[in-house]
Amino acid sequence: MENANFPTSDKGRVYHVEVKRGEVANRIITVGDHTRAEEFAQYLDKDSPLFRLSSARGFLTITGKYKGVPVSIIAIGMGLPMMDFFVREVRSVVDGQLAIIRFGTCGSIGDARTGSIIVQNAAFAITRNYNYFSDTEEIESELTDEKPYNFTKIFHADPQLYKKIELELINSFGEDNVFTGLNATCDSFYSSQGRKDGNFRDYNSNLISTISDIYPEAISLEMEAFMLFHLAKSSTSLPLKDSNNTILKNSIKAASAAMVVADRVTNDFISPVKVHDIQKVAGRAVLNALVDFELIYVHPDDDDCVW
């Protein structure tokens, strides 16, 4: 390993995802779960080789072609830091624009019932305000000005990319089963998503209603999309121009969709068999959207490029 600032191996492999230049395509589907990644990989072209790399830190990268177009499917596990590792490390080994679609699961706080799909066209984050929890006496006597949870501003998905996903999902599942709207990315599945847990003082009994007060248009809760949109927005420009000769402002285009597995209104939770059935169909839909999206990049020179 070299370079403490951005560690890479002497073969150019990044520290946590472990991929190197030529192993990841510019079009990427990212999921949490390895089995979902493997399931989506079954749709990749059978006549093209499949590259597969499992990292010691739990990332799984599968690169192949879908309808003749190079794509990678990358499972990252869960939470904001995993999305940060993935986006930054993959960005560092791929040249040109990146299109990244997250396809995950979520909870619904709106009209979407379990089994439906939410296209998350924007996201904010809800994070536990650790300072609030530092002095129990202060909390109990209501002396603190702190709030137990912090809410960020809203960051947006790429409008063209999310509309392509929405269209493909509607074609596959019908309009009644596809919802589009604002997502809250939370730093816990439990406390910052308003779940009750008697083993901890979480001060979250009003959290779901606070979400509706601050962002009445919020319809889903999950744990990664905000970081993806935030990093896409923070990504620097490329010395490349699009078909209108405009310099590309951000190098990453991002979007997200998720199956509703938890209905936080009715308290229904979906069976794993049903998730499996939905993602089988949704996998094709998101891959179709991904390869149909215009992107500017060049094939790397490396002899050992896997695509």
Q: Which is nearer to ligand URA, 20 or 195 (CB)?
A: 195
Q: Out of 22, 70, 104, 148, which residue is the one contacting ligand R1P (CB under 6 A)?
A: 104
Binding mask 147-186 for ligand R1P (x = CB under 6 A): ----------------------------------------
Q: Which stretch binds ligand R1P (CB under 6 A): 26-34, 148-156, 237-245, 278-286?
A: 26-34
290 DSSP 8-state letter: H
124: β partners: 184
Find where tokens 């999950």 sit: 222
Q: Is the dihedral of CA 211, 113, 122, 89 positive or negative?
A: positive
Q: Out of 61, 97, 105, 108, which residue is the one contacting ligand R1P (CB under 6 A)?
A: 105
Among ligand URA, ligand R1P, none, partner that 221 touches (CB below 5 to 8 angstroms by kind): ligand URA
Q: Which amino acid belongs to residue 129?
A: N
What's the rounded Cα separation, in Å, for the pair 289 and 296? Answer: 16
SS3 2: strand
Helices (H) then strands (E): counts for the chain:
7, 11
Q: Which of 87, 73, 86, 81 minimizes the C-alpha distance to 33?
A: 73
DSSP state string for 92-103: HH--S-EEEEEE
Site for ligand URA in 239-278 (CB under 6 A): 261-262
304 DSSP 8-state letter: T
Binding mask 193-222 for ligand URA (x = CB under 6 A): x---------------------------xx
Q: Which stretch binds ligand URA (CB under 6 A): 101-109, 125-133, 172-180, 273-281?
A: 101-109
Q: Tell whether residue 107 is a contact of ligand URA (CB under 6 A).
A: yes
119 DSSP 8-state letter: E
SS3 226: helix
Q: Tell whether residue 227 is a contact of ligand URA (CB under 6 A).
A: no
Q: Which stretch binds ligand R1P (CB under 6 A): 42-50, 88-96, 220-228, 285-293?
A: 220-228
Strands (E), 187-280: 218-222, 252-263
Q: Tell whether residue 189 is a contact of ligand R1P (CB under 6 A).
A: yes
76, 59 in Cβ contact below 8 A?
A: yes
Q: Out of 63, 105, 256, 288, which residue is the one contacting ligand URA (CB under 6 A)?
A: 105
Q: Tell whether residue 224 is a contact of ligand R1P (CB under 6 A).
A: yes
- Which residues form the interface with ligand R1P (CB under 6 A)? 31-33, 78, 104-105, 189, 222-224
